[in-house]
Amino acid sequence: MSSPPLQLRRSATAHKRPTPVDIVEGEVAVNYHPVSCGFFIKNADGTIVKIGPVEVSTSAPNSAAAGGSGNSEGELWFDPATQELKIYHNSTWITLNAQPVGFTGSPKIGNTTLVIQNGIITDVV
């Protein structure tokens, strides 16, 4: 007889994140919705932290929260409408300007590759 697979707390609801009362320190939860997927962990100070990937959307991650509200310090968001990569810091989204004007190349951010032609992001892989 085979054992059932190990299951984490999980949700397929878009933008649903655990709240600090949903999980214990060190516990992992997962959202597997195709638009807002990610892993979440509760750290030692009781804060929920998102662990990848970069959200690609015209609206900020978790702006229509279905679970825990707010974002994680250091969370990344790419807005294809404005062609901007942003990082969440001190309760606000800050636009990153890492490449010089006219840059062409394919910088990698985690497991995400940005394709940039003449300073404009043309694709996210």
Mean pLDDT of the chain: 85
**What pLDDT does residue 54 have?**
86
In a domain, 2, yes or no: no
Q: What is the pLDDT of residues 21-62, one digit of tens each?
A: 999 999 999 999 887 888 999 999 999 998 888 888 899 988
| Confidence label for 101 from pLDDT (cuts 50, 70 and 90) | low
In a domain, 62, yes or no: yes
Q: What is the pLDDT of residues 4-20, one digit of tens each?
A: 788 889 999 988 999 99
Q: How many other C-beta atoms can be found within 10 angstroms of the C-beta atom of residue 40?
A: 24
DSSP 81: T
Domain range for 62? 9-124
In a domain, 45, yes or no: yes
Q: Which residues is 92 bridged to in the sheet?
A: 89
